[in-house]
Amino acid sequence: MAKFNVGFSFIIFLAVSCSIEKVNLSPVTESSLTNQGQSKTVKASYDTKKNIIVYSSAISNLIATFPKFRNEAVNKEIANLKFHLKDYLDAMEAYNINGMDRSQRKYEQAYKKIQSLRKHLKHDEDQVLNRYLVSIKTNISLLASNFPKDSLPSSKN
């Protein structure tokens, strides 16, 4: 009798586990999409949004952890750079292309001023500043390349 219960239990377990494997509880499944192109668009849109979040959070993290330097002129331009980077991220979140362009121009001006002021820093401070600037510039470039400028959501309601 014990052999029968173990064998019967195993068969029931096998039948239930195979049937559960096929069940998909997701509210949006690929079968609900009528076109395979739509599925690829949804995947690309998700990846794009994920990348935008990753790069913008990296920039925000760099802004928050930017060190202070001994040179006041450099610190003042870094404050300007931080302000314009925040404006850029806010404009991107609001899909404000004009605000993004304006913030990008001002960010680039502050970046150039910081590059010219770097010669007044000590070698160690210059290396730290360079590391931050390179990270910011890289993340800004990646963020801009992932931002969909041709398919902005309409505000018509």
Sequential DSSP letters for 115-152: HHHGGGS-HHHHHHHHHHHHHHHHHHHHHHHHS-SSSP
pLDDT tier at 155, thresholds 50, 70, 90: very low
Distances (CA, A) of 122 to 70, 71, 115, 119, 130: 9, 10, 14, 8, 12
| Confidence tier at 26 by pLDDT (50, 70, 90) | very low
The answer to whether 81 and 63 have CB atoms below 8 angstroms apart is: no
- Tell me the pTM: 0.66
Question: What's the confidence (pLDDT) of residue 157?
Answer: 42
pLDDT digits (tens, 9 = 90+) for 141-154: 999 888 876 654 54
Q: Please give the Cα distance from 100 to 108 (Å, whole number).
A: 12
